[in-house]
Amino acid sequence: QSALTQPRSVSGSPGQSVTISCTGSSNDVGAYNYVSWYQQHPGKAPKLVIYDVTKRPSGVPDRFSGSKSGNTASLTISGLQAEDETDYYCCSYAGTYFVFGGGTKLTVL
C-alpha cells in the first residue's frame, strides 16, 4: 500500500495553467477509473474537485480538469487565480483499499 507519487510543489503565474501529476501503479491508478482530486486549505477539510478521473462536481469551476494515461493521473488548473494557492491531493481506489498521494503545494506567483 504505497502512497501515490505527487510532486511536492508546483507554481504558476496568474492566468497560466499548471498540471499536477499523480503516479501510481497497475494495481491502483492504472487499474481503475476511480481517481479523485482534493483541494485543502490550511486548517480546513479537503474539498473534492475531480472524481472518476475526469468528472467535476457541481460548483467546481471548469478551470479544473482531470485526465489519466496509464499509471499516471493529472490535475490541470487553467486560468490560475490567487485563491487556487493551496495543497492538492490525488486518491485512487486499489481494489481492497484506497490510497492518497503525498500532496502537492501549488504556489501562485
Partner 1 sequence: EVQLVESGGGLVHPGESLKLSCAASGFTFSAYRMHWVRQAPGKGLVWVSCIESYGGSTKYADSVKGRFTISRDNAKNTFYLQMNSLRAEDTAVYYCARDGGGLPYWGQGTLVTVSS
Chain residues 69-98 in contact with partner 1, contact rule CB under 8 A: 87, 89, 91, 96-98
Which residue's C-alpha cell is 486560468? Answer: 79
Among 7, 10, 51, 72, binds partner 1 (CB under 8 A): 51
What are the angstrom distances between the C-alpha of 87 and each of 95, 96, 97, 108? 26, 26, 23, 12
Q: How far is the CB of 5 from partner 1 (least distance, A)?
A: 12
Contact segment (CB under 8 A) with partner 1 among 9-17, 19-27, 48-56, 70-78 equals: 48-56
Q: Which of 99, 101, 77, 106 is nearest to 90 (CA)?
A: 101
Contact 80, 13 (CB under 8 A): yes
Chain residues 8-47 in contact with partner 1, contact rule CB under 8 A: 36-38, 40, 45-47
The Cα 50–Cα 32 span in angstroms is 15
Q: Which residues bind partner 1 (CB under 8 A)?
A: 1, 3, 36-38, 40, 45-48, 50-52, 55, 57, 87, 89, 91, 96-103
